Amino acid sequence: MLDQKSNDDVAVIGIGSAGTRIVSLLSRKPLLVDRYAYVSCDAEDFSPVDSKDAIHIQSPIDQKLTPSLVRGLALSYHGRIRDAIGGSKVVFVVAGLGGATGSGLAPVVASIAQDCGATTVGVAVMPFEFEKKMKFYAGVSLRRLRTASRGVVVVDNDTLMHSSPDESTLADLYDSANKAAVKALGSLLASSTEGSKSVGLNKFLGAVLRDGYSILGVSSNGGGEKAEDALAGAVVSLGRIANAKEASRAVVSLNGDSSLSAQEVGLAVGRFGSLIDNQAVDVEYGVDCSGSSQLQVSVLASGFGATKYDDYDPLSKILGGRVLDDDMDTSLLGGLEGLPSCG
């Protein structure tokens, strides 16, 4: 496991529009991360980031992108991706799955990071329930990302949506979901500050680097019993994705203001096992009292062998894991000239 003080060995790379937005927001927080990088086919995604950290994959404007086409377009950029993450001991690959770029490149970048010797963690933001057309790409990519990484953290957009008002526009919905994801991930990767007890990189990795999937459950509450109610909401969000009682390990992170008492923290941490009906679960925790009166509880639970996303990839279910050739398909524009030069 990585020593917590060796934060110069940690890199986070955002893939596609959602990944780039989330990672650019994370980069503004005091985290246990040394460097950030971004990969996308859309130049507009890089407007909030330093150009030196951006890898823009040139794509045709007259052709609809698919995951296989994006992988083909990215072949000549593998060297730049290696340079962006090379030397890192831990690499987090953050991507929204369902779209062409995130679905196409997240497993590829994770494989490159693994080949570079890094402990690789995929962070997969799954599409909203109403985004039916994205589900197949997302399901296939999630399975491949799990194979290419040491661990995968699944973030459900529908869970994050509950923090948005009912009258939100679609743009507001995406923005709210991204910010909720940033707040949750930031609380788990935060460096220690006055008034906080950080989770720490070792605890985070200890939860994630296990068999199966890790799921990020999130809930907020500003009422009188806010810690208990927010924890219950986070557990409910886990139950929407998998059987919560299967969790073998969890990290509970509480982000609020100075009114958050030690008693509330102890209650939230102590009650997690009973709420999921599994007292054997190993629970760690972190606290940040520099936030708002609206307490957010983030629960990173791990050890899930199955999730609702298994239904997103029906072919895998039909084959029952028997796959003749599971290499990722790659499309080239115009034939072999799309291949990187060997000269």
Q: Does the pLDDT value for residue 317 go beyond 80?
A: no
The count of other CB atoms within 10 Å of the CB of residue 277 is 10
Whole-model pTM?
0.88
Question: In terms of Cα–Cα distance, which of 202, 113, 201, 185 is closest to 149?
Answer: 113
pLDDT at position 146 over 70:
yes
Q: Could you give the domains of the chain?
A: 7-149 (3.40.50.1440)
**What is the structure's pLDDT at 57?**
96
| Residues 223-254 pLDDT 10s | 556 788 889 989 999 999 999 999 999 999 98
Tens digit of each residue's pLDDT (9 = 90 or more) over 90-141? 999 999 999 999 999 999 999 999 999 999 999 999 998 889 999 999 999 9
Please say if the pLDDT value at position 68 is more than 70: yes
Average pLDDT, the chain: 86
